[in-house]
Copies of this chain bind each other. A is one copy, B any other.
Amino acid sequence: MIKYNNKNFVCDLDLGMELIRGKWKAVILCHLNEGPKRFLELQRITCGVSQKVLNEKLKQLQDDGLINKKVYDEVPPKVEYELTEIGKDLFPALNHIQQWAKKHTKTID
């Protein structure tokens, strides 16, 4: 058993999956791999998911150390989200899942 944030996980994979669980996290991370993005860009990518839900997902990804929130000292204020090194390190797996789904969905549909 592995303990993380007061939850128990049966193995590292179980914990790793927890960090990207839910409908949007993997998609957000994959798009941030192209470069930093602003909130509205991420909302467009996630097809208009509510501000509340997107904020929640971004906050969890920050808390888990996968992304950074960059606040620029500008007027009007500019905020961007970018991958941390830990977030970047996950990309090959997300890319594999994307290619895998593309290859096999015709077979399994």
Contact B93 A100 (CB under 8 A): yes
Number of copies: 2
Residue of B nearest to A89 (CB): B100
At the interface, is chain A mostly helix, strand, loop or mixed? helix
Measured between C-beta atoms, what is the minimum distance from A14 to chain B in Å? 5
Is A17 at the interface (CB under 8 A from chain B)?
yes
Q: How far is the CA of A92 from the CA of B105 in the complex (A)?
A: 18
Cα distance, A94 to B13, chains bound together (Å): 7
Q: Contact residue range for chain A?
A: 35 or more
Q: Are B98 and A12 in contact (CB under 8 A)?
A: yes
Return the contact of A93 from the options B1, B2, B46, B97 (Cβ within 8 A): B97
Which residue of chain B has its CB nearest to the CB of A14?
A: B27
